[in-house]
Amino acid sequence: MTAYVIRRLIWGLALLIIVCALTFILFRVLPTGNPAVLRAGRDPQPKLIKEIERVLGLDKSLPVQFWDYLKNVFLHFNFGYSYYSQESVVSLIKERLPATASLTIGAAVVWMIGGLSVGVISALKQRTFLDRASMGSALVLISAPEFWLGLIVLFLFASDIGKFKIFPGAGSYVGLTYDPWKWFTSMIMPWCVLAASSAAIFARLMRGGLIEAMGEDYIRTARAKGLRERRVIRQGVRSSINPIVTLLALEIGVLLGGAVLIEYVFNIPGIGRLAYQSIVQSDFEVIQGTVLLASFFIILANIAADIGYAYLDPRVRYS
């Protein structure tokens, strides 16, 4: 098991370097805005562009640029500096990490609790109105694009522009440490919107898994033993959880991707917004930093899911 984990971690590291190389090439080779041109103002002299390229280090050959970048990242934990604000990428990300962490962790909680309970109830009340209604809405939520859903929710429930002025609207984010209650209320809508599609998938899978599990022989055994129905259901839930754990890791990626849009729609000063701005401005170093960070968490989540799977299912053994 330990050997397996170490091997997975090494592969994870290799994967990070590959991701790094891909983003590096994508933004430098593909026809995108040249940051030097973007910075040089209107009708720039070619000399000026050359000069800016030299300052930003863009005049060196690609492999040299890449090698310098990797050296900085892995040896000095230095992810470079924004072309615009000259701030270090690390401090930019640090500054915005709390907002994104609030958003994604909260959404993951909503997603898991919501998806799990809706799925379980749907499975147990199979073919009732409740079941059909929740599975129907799940289908809608899976199909709805997040930014659209975000706008609709703002339009319906935001305290400024909403029809029903219930929750603080876009741009109301405050830090958790600054005012916990305001933080909580401002995050309710973003959490729900970001969690919606994942929770809906989770609910549908949970429902299917639990219905299947409740038909298994061991559930009949549990009933024949005289266990209370609550404990019988717990046994069913226990065995239908496992396949969903794999999904968990995949959905973390979806969640981080969704965070970019949600932070934009709800005007939350997080890493997603940072990534969006840096792409618009061809701020290569910042793009690199945010992409690397997201990949790091996705790879970590996948390793954690695989290890968790072995822990959850005693029949799975890695060697």
Partner 1 sequence: MSAAEALLRVEDLKVEFPTEDGLVHAVDGITYQVQAGKTLGIVGESGSGKTVSSLTTLGLTRRQGARISGRILFGGRDLVTLPEDELRAVRGNEIAMIFQDPLSALHPLYKVGKQLVEAVLAHRDVSKAKARARAIELLGLVGIPDPAKRVDAYPHEFSGGMRQRAMIAMALANEPKLLIADEPTTALDVTVQAQILALMERLQRELGMAILIITHDLGVVAEMADDIAVMYAGRIVETGSADSIFAKPQHPYTWGLLRSIPRLDSPRDEELVPILGTPPSLINPPTGCHFHPRCPYAQPDHARIDPQLVPVADEPSHFVACLLETEVRRRLWAELGAGGTPEAALAEAGLAHGETPARPAEGQPPLPGAGR
Report the distance separating Cα 111 and Cα 167, nearest Å: 19
- Residue closer to partner 1 by CB (options 182, 223) is 223
Window contacting partner 1 (CB under 8 A); options: 71-79, 107-115, 263-271, 309-317: 309-317
Give CA angle at 268 (154, 177), nearest 5°.
115
Please report how close the Cβ of residue 205 comes to partner 1 at its closest, in angstroms: 18
Please report how close the Cβ of residue 256 comes to partner 1 at its closest, in angstroms: 30
- Residue closer to partner 1 by CB (options 7, 228) is 228
Burial class (CB in 10 A: 0-12, 13-18, 19+), 1: exposed
- Residue closer to partner 1 by CB (options 200, 222) is 222
Please report how close the Cβ of residue 221 comes to partner 1 at its closest, in angstroms: 5
Please report how close the Cβ of residue 304 comes to partner 1 at its closest, in angstroms: 19
C-alpha closest to that of 24 among 84, 55, 68 = 68
Please report how close the Cβ of residue 160 comes to partner 1 at its closest, in angstroms: 50
Interaction residues for partner 1, span 218-257 (CB under 8 A): 218, 220-228, 231, 235, 238-239, 242
Other CB atoms within 10 Å distance of the CB of residue 31: 5
Report the distance separating Cα 246 and Cα 253, nearest Å: 12
Window contacting partner 1 (CB under 8 A); options: 15-23, 58-66, 79-87, 210-218: 210-218
Site membership for partner 1, residue 30 (CB under 8 A) = no
Tokens of 268: 């939350």
Q: 75, 129, 315, 319: which one contacts partner 1 (CB under 8 A)? A: 315
Residue 319's contacts (CB-CB under 8 Å, 6 or more residues apart) are 3, 4
Q: 216, 250, 254, 303: which one contacts partner 1 (CB under 8 A)? A: 216
Report the distance separating Cα 191 and Cα 304, nearest Å: 23
- Residue closer to partner 1 by CB (options 71, 238) is 238
Residues that bind partner 1 (CB under 8 A): 216-218, 220-228, 231, 235, 238-239, 242, 312-315
